[in-house]
Amino acid sequence: MRYPNGRKKTRYNNQLKQRKTNFGKRGMTLESEINETNLYYLETNRAVVHKKPTPVQIVQVDYPKRSAAVIREAYFKQASTTDYNGLYKGKYIDFEAKETRNRTSLPLANIHQHQVDHMKSVIEHDGICFLIIRFNHQGESYLLPAEHFLDFWNHQYDGGRKSVPLESIQSKGYKIPFSLQAKVDYLKVLDQVYL
């Protein structure tokens, strides 16, 4: 038997198709839920929070059709900072969203030094800075104030852990409630903790 493209059907072809794994859009579930939540906050006039675009320098673009431009080569202009920023009740808020499949901790390798430097700057200027961490296995999301996260970040250089344990996130952070309209309702936590 042959496929329309002329290839023979073999057992190997079926196994090859089954082995292909799509690694694209990993970690995007949390971000898409935060984006939906932020849209709900904006539409209900509760807060103005947006995802920051990553600055990219486009080098080569092909124009097969005027309406179908294809970017062939692009580079990051500079290291990005955190994922989101905005205003809530007159306060500047800035946060990073991280999703992990790890059951017991958030690896510090998931965060970069330039992001940590940015968090420190926000705190120095009296902004509200935090991380939203999703543990996929448990299906739970937590808000961890950046001040607590920075303690773990600094201790890794003193021989400490290279990750933030789930127990520490649960004790120093706050579980974010899930609701139908605001899937990651972090403003409820901000009201309790900061305002």
Helices 113-124, 146-155: inter-axial angle, 10-degree rounding: 130
Task: Tell me if 15 is assigned to a ligand binding site.
Answer: no
Task: Tell me if 115 is assigned to a ligand binding site.
Answer: yes
Task: Tell me if 81 is assigned to a ligand binding site.
Answer: yes
Task: Tell me if 96 is assigned to a ligand binding site.
Answer: yes
**Rounded-to-integer distance, Cα 174 and Cα 190, Å:** 10
- Residue ranges at the known binding site for Mg(2+): 81, 83, 96, 115
**Which residues line the annotated binding site?**
81, 83, 96, 115
